[in-house]
Structure 1
């Protein structure tokens, strides 16, 4: 008997009497897909939290997809999978892309609902049950969950506090940007069958492109504020800016691969907007702005400016990469 036996026994006892809004119903089959690349600690934390889910054991599986890791990540995945039958380890090492890894998971998934979780997220015990209840109650086909950033106990650096305040406003993404990030996304299998899987060519922005395909198919994008999952904060400015640069590369790739949707009159690499200082009122929209010290306000503004510059540099970098490649 392992350390999770008590939780498993409790779930098994509860499977016979689950109710949805007072009505006894069967839980739908769910496949939780976790892509990972060189993150053994994050993967272990995520799998530990998924093992603890109260969702019926026989109604869900966890598919870990290693994207060609070069460290001990594959060993961690196999170690946990050896102890838990519902965890399966897959490999996608032909294409270096988290979206290719997710597609590999989709190919092997047996669930009618696909839940995508990144390999550094921490899920509450009731997360999957809460998410599926919301999914079924709203008759959703595409739904983002609530994401809360986890700060350090001491409050962390200025960069970490900035990341906590600006991290993942999922409701804003869904309502105003037309997609939910893949760190917290539930999709019905029928959606994949209709609009297709993720674009594995993309380094970044694949969640945006996929969400827009779903939206353009006439489906409603849903948000479940009651289903919460936790994301670790980026604790350094370097980590925040590296992500912005990667996002910038993805912006250019979206234009290249999907010009019908993302093309513009101004070439992406020459667009001056990312290099311009952000409007002060935009930065002041950060939650709790009035409580910040003057030093924090200046630091937050400079980080916002630096993020825009790195986004622009990412676009330029991808432009150069593709032109050099085309000239060979």
Structure 2
């Protein structure tokens, strides 16, 4: 089974360089036959970086340039060009661990069925010195939900993170690719995962396929990212996937909270307005806070999702 690695990129030349070096240094029986970099209209020296890294590979490092059209279009461009039986989706800021490709290939040999996809683990790159807040965000918060997953667990469509996911090329060819209606950040991967799920797609979690997120993110960065994600909601909300996502979200809201959580909310409500601005500076430090506190602080500043949905429905 030959593996085609797909890396979309935009104005991150030096970040991309580190990622390409990571793929060039893969160990074991990784089965990689090509790496495809799709440059989504970068204005930096991305093309030069790809040329400079080409000699590191014993197989083709292929470069494609397109007019800026968004992440979905960039990935689709690469899918059309890919020659491998297995497509491994990465991102320009996800540096592969030395056995990432081998672990994806190994699990596809273990699960050869066409409809099986594999999701790998995405922790923060240790050298960025992630804060406790960042770790919470990647395990239980707005970045990823890896803290809830167990090895071999089958994940639902909401966890279709295509920054470290492998899918059989034939299954994609038969059942669809990314919707290019998504031109800005967010939801294009969830929407595709939903459509694939309807065709029998099963996404399994392999925590040994590690790709490190080469990024430092403050509370302020996280707020901006969540707000950017919400700006893509109107497009996503018009899809069948978006409507099902909304049903699940509304179902979760109707569940009664635990007694401990209810008591904590009651206790903190009078103090919340005064306490959160005082606690906010601690979020960007290496002083750990309780997970529930990160949640309270972040969503105190982020537009409520209920307001995002209401505004979108009103606009329709």
Name the TM-score class by shorter chain.
0.7 to 0.9
Matched position secondary structure for 1:35: strand
User: Among residues 188, 196, 212, which one is paired with 1:206 in the alignment?
Assistant: 188
User: Among residues 46, 65, 74, which one is paired with 2:47 in the alignment?
Assistant: 74
2:139 aligned with 1:144: no
- Deviation at residue 111 of structure 1 after TM alignment: 0.2
Matching residue of 1:182 = 162
- Deviation at residue 163 of structure 1 after TM alignment: 3.1
2:89 aligned with 1:116: yes
Count residues with an aligned counterpart.
Answer: 274
User: Among residues 300, 308, 316, which one is paired with 1:305 in the alignment?
Assistant: 300
Matched position secondary structure for 1:144: strand
Q: Quick one: distance in 1 between partners of 2:242 and 2:181?
A: 15
User: In structure 2, do the counterparts of structure 1 residues 177 and 306 end up closer, same or farther at CA, with 3 Å as the change threshold?
Assistant: farther
TM-score when normalising by structure 1: 0.71
Matching residue of 2:284 = none
Contact 2:191/2:242 (8 A) holds in 1: no
Q: Quick one: distance in 2 between partners of 1:179 and 1:43?
A: 24
TM-score when normalising by structure 2: 0.73
Q: Quick one: distance in 2 between partners of 1:160 and 1:193?
A: 36
Matching residue of 1:169 = 145
Contact 1:147/1:169 (8 A) holds in 2: no
5+ long unaligned stretches in structure 1: 1-27, 285-291, 324-328
5+ long unaligned stretches in structure 2: 265-286
Q: Quick one: distance in 1 between partners of 2:134 and 2:312?
A: 28
Instruction: Select the structure with the greater relative contact order (CA < 8 A; seq sep ≥ 6).
Output: 2
Q: Quick one: distance in 1 between partners of 2:43 and 2:228?
A: 20
User: In structure 2, do the counterparts of structure 1 residues 59 and 281 end up closer, same or farther at CA, with 3 Å as the change threshold?
Assistant: same
Q: Quick one: distance in 1 between partners of 2:61 and 2:164?
A: 19
Matching residue of 1:197 = 177
Matched position secondary structure for 2:235: helix
Contact 2:31/2:102 (8 A) holds in 1: no
2:15 aligned with 1:38: no
Contact 1:99/1:206 (8 A) holds in 2: yes
Q: Quick one: distance in 2 between partners of 1:34 and 1:186?
A: 12
Cα offsets for 1:232-284 (capped at 9, x unmatched): 3442122212221222122221123x2x44348x9xxxx9x99xxx99849x9
Matched position secondary structure for 1:221: strand
Matching residue of 1:127 = 100
Deviates more, 1:112-121 or 1:137-146: 137-146
User: Among residues 210, 220, 229, which one is paired with 1:247 in the alignment?
Assistant: 229
- Deviation at residue 56 of structure 1 after TM alignment: 5.8
Contact 1:242/1:310 (8 A) holds in 2: no
Matching residue of 1:5 = none
Matching residue of 2:208 = 226
Q: Quick one: distance in 1 between partners of 2:7 and 2:195?
A: 22
Deviates more, 1:209-218 or 1:232-241: 232-241
Matched position secondary structure for 1:145: strand
Contact 2:33/2:84 (8 A) holds in 1: yes
Matching residue of 2:278 = none
